[in-house]
Amino acid sequence: MSRNLKLLPLLLLVISCQTEKDTDIESSQEYIRLNQIGYYPMSNKRFVLTATTESKEFSVVNAQSGNVVFEGQLSGATDWALSGEAVRVGDFSTVQTTGTYHIVVPGVGSSHPFSIGAKVLQAPFLGSIKGLYYQRIGQPLEEEYAGVYARPLGHPDLEVPFHPSVNREGTINAPGGWYDAGDFGKYVINGAYPLAQMATLLEHYSDLVADGDLNIPESGNGRSDLMDELKYEMDWLLTMQDEDGGLFHKMTSEVFEGMIMPHAAAKQRYIFAKGTAATLDFAGAAAKFARIVASVDAAYADQCLSAARRAWNWALENPNVPFTNPEGVITGQYGDNNFSQEFYWAAAELFISTRESAYLNHLTSIEVDFAFAPGGSWANHLHYLGLFALLDHRDQLSEALATKLRNQLLSSARQLVAKASGNAYFQPLSDFHWGSNSDVMNAAYIVAQAYRIDRQPAFLGFVQDCVNYIFGCNAVGFSFLTGFGDRTPQFIHHRQSAADGIAEPVPGLLSGGPNNYQQDKDEVDYPEVTYPMTSWVDQQPSYASNEICLNWNAPLTYVLGFLEMESK
C-alpha cells in the first residue's frame, strides 16, 4: 500500500472541507478538464489542469471504494495563448479497470466523475441520433417516444407555395424531415450532407444500431432504427426534387420565427429556387442511401437511385447556379459559389452505386485539395465523402487511383494528428468558426477513415482525444452534448428548448462551440476578455456559439459509433 493510499482519508477530509459548498465543488471541477462521460479501457486518458497549485501530483480515486488506484505526475505548466490559461496535463492511460473514478489534485479538489469501461460512449451515441427524432417535422412527438419532450405536430408543410422570387405559380407538398437547427427551416444542402455522413455508419457497421435501440415510432419494424430515422429525412428530400431533376434549395419562412413551439409557428413557409449545390448534394446522398436500403427495400432503393441520376443530369445542364437569399429573406442561405466538391462527391457516390464509368471519368477530371480547412462544412468538406466512398470500394478503382486516394487521405490525417499533438487540448483547431465543434468532429471523421485503412494507434488516439474535447476536456469545461455529462449546456439556441417550459433542454443536441468571430456579440453577454477557445457562452440568444444544427450532430454520431466499434 502506498503512503498516499494510507493518507487518503485525510486527503478526502481536506477536500471535503475545501469543497463543502456546491459552488466550491463546481469550481474545483471546472479547473480539472476531462471527458465527463468516460474512457475505453485501452484508450488515451488525459486531463488538463488550469488551476494554480504547488502540487506536482494527482491521484485517480475509485468513486465507490474511495481507494486510490493510480498516482501520477503533472506536466510542467504551458501558457496557452488560445485560451489565456496556464495548463498542466495529467496522464492516467494505464488505468484500465472498469469503474467510476475521480481525479484528485491536492490543493485543487476533485474532478467530475467519469467511467472507464467497454461501450462507455453507447448512451451519448444513441442519444445523438435520438436528438434527430426530437427535430422531426410534420408529426406529433408522442409521449411514448418523446417523454417529457412530447409536443403537437408542427408544420405539416402541405400545399406550400413557391416564393415570389421563383416566378412560378402553384404549390408542392413536402412534409416531414427534420428541423435544420434551432430554427424551423428545412434546407436540402444541410439535410443531404449530414444524412450522408450518418448513413456511412450503416455502410461500415450495419449492425451497430438495432431495431428498437432508439424507441422511435418505427421501432419494431425489423430494420435498424438508424436507417428508419435517416429515411424520415430522405423521404422529405425526395419531395424537394422538381420534375426536371433539380432540387429546390430550401423551405422556410422569409424571416425566423420567435422563440416559440413548432405548433405555435404561423409564418408563411415558401419553396425557394433551385440551385446546383442543393441538387448535387441530393444526388450524392440519394445515391448512397440507395445502396444502404437496397437489401431491405429494393423499390425505395430504385427510387433513390433514379432521383440521384436525374439530379446529376440537371446539374450537368446547370453547372453554375448559386443560391442567394432574395431581398427581404434572412433565413439560412447555405451559400456556395464553387461546386467542384459537390460534383466530386455526387460523381463518386453515383459511380459506386451504378459502376458506370462516366461518373468516374467526371470525378477524375476534378482537382480537389484534401487538406483540412475549418468552417462551412456544408461547402468545404463534401469532397471527403466522395473520397471515403471511393476508398470503401477501392477494388472498383485502378491501382494507381486507389493508391493516390489512399495517400491523400493518410496525408491529411497525419497533418491533423501533428497539429493536435501541439495543442493543449489535443484537438486540431487554432481558428474557431461558427460550429467549431463540428470542425473538431469532422477532423475526427477524416482520421477515423484513415484508421480504417491503416490502423495506426496515433489515428485512433486522435479520434478519442477529439471526443474527449467535446465531452469536457476543453477550455470552458463543458460537455457540449445536451443531456450527457456532468456540466452541459442548459440554454441552447433552440426554439423548443426555449419555449417548452422544461428546465432541461432537448437532449442529444450538440452545441456549436467556441466561435472567435462572435457574430452575435451585440446581443450576447460574452465575458469582457475572451480568447478563441473561450468564445462560447451558455446563453439562449447565442446563435453564434450555442445553437444546434444537423451538420454538427452528424459527424459526432459517426465518430461515436466508430469508437464504439473500434475501441477496446
pLDDT at residue number 83: 96
pLDDT at residue number 195: 98
479-496 mean pLDDT: 98
Q: Distance (Å, rounded) from C-alpha 98 to C-alpha 105?
A: 22
- In this structure, how many other beta carbons lie within 10 angstroms of the beta carbon of residue 233? 26
CB 304 within 8 A of CB 366: no
pLDDT over threshold 60, residue 431:
yes
Q: What is the pLDDT of residues 99-146, one digit of tens each?
A: 999 999 999 999 999 999 999 999 999 999 999 999 999 999 999 999
CB 530 within 8 A of CB 82: no
**Of the given ranges (234-243, 326-335, 364-373, 394-403), which has the lowest mean pLDDT?**
364-373
pTM of the model: 0.95
Cell of 266: 404561423
Sequence-ordered list of residues with C-beta below 8 angstroms from that of 188, at least 6 positions apart, any chain: 237, 240, 247, 248, 249, 250, 278, 281, 282
pLDDT at residue number 6: 33
CA 331 to chain centroid, in Å, comes to 22
pLDDT at residue number 13: 33
**Of the given ranges (222-236, 371-385, 386-400), which has the lowest mean pLDDT?**
371-385
pLDDT over threshold 60, residue 9:
no
CB 507 within 8 A of CB 483: yes
Share the mean pLDDT of the chain.
94
**Of the given ranges (21-35, 154-168, 539-553), which has the lowest mean pLDDT?**
21-35
CB 313 within 8 A of CB 206: no
pLDDT at residue number 23: 47
49-68 mean pLDDT: 96
Catalytically active residues, by annotation: 183, 493, 538, 547
Percent of the chain with pLDDT over 70: 95
Q: What is the pLDDT of residues 185-228, one digit of tens each?
A: 999 999 999 999 999 999 999 999 999 999 999 999 999 999 99
Q: What is the pLDDT of residues 437-462, one digit of tens each?
A: 999 999 999 999 999 999 999 999 99
pLDDT at residue number 528: 86
Q: Distance (Å, rounded) from C-alpha 282 to C-alpha 277?
A: 8
Confidence of residue 22 (pLDDT cuts 50, 70, 90): very low
Dihedral sign, Cα of residue 367, residue 387, residue 360, residue 242:
negative
Cell of 369: 485539395
- Residue 69 phi/psi, 5-degree rounding, is -105, -10
CB pairs under 8 A, 24+ apart, for 135-138?
135/178, 135/179, 135/550, 136/176, 136/177, 136/178, 136/179, 136/232, 137/175, 137/176, 137/177, 137/178, 137/179, 137/184, 137/186, 137/236, 137/262, 138/175, 138/176, 138/177
Pick 277 or 9 by higher pLDDT: 277
Give the chain's count of helices (H) and strands (E): 18, 15
* Strand, helix or coil for residue 539: coil
pLDDT at residue number 21: 44
Pick 173 or 13 by higher pLDDT: 173
Confidence of residue 406 (pLDDT cuts 50, 70, 90): very high
Q: Distance (Å, rounded) from C-alpha 130 to C-alpha 353?
A: 28
pLDDT over threshold 70, residue 538:
yes
Q: What is the pLDDT of residues 456-474, one digit of tens each?
A: 999 999 999 999 999 999 9
Q: What is the pLDDT of residues 328-339, one digit of tens each?
A: 999 999 999 999
Q: What is the pLDDT of residues 254-281, one digit of tens each?
A: 999 999 999 999 999 999 999 999 999 9
Least Cα distance to 472 among 176, 102, 42, 37 occurs for: 37
pLDDT over threshold 60, residue 45:
yes
Residue type, 530: T
315-343 mean pLDDT: 97
pLDDT at residue number 222: 97
Q: Distance (Å, rounded) from C-alpha 432 to C-alpha 519?
A: 12
Identify the residue whose cell numbers are 467519469: 114
pLDDT over threshold 60, residue 182:
yes
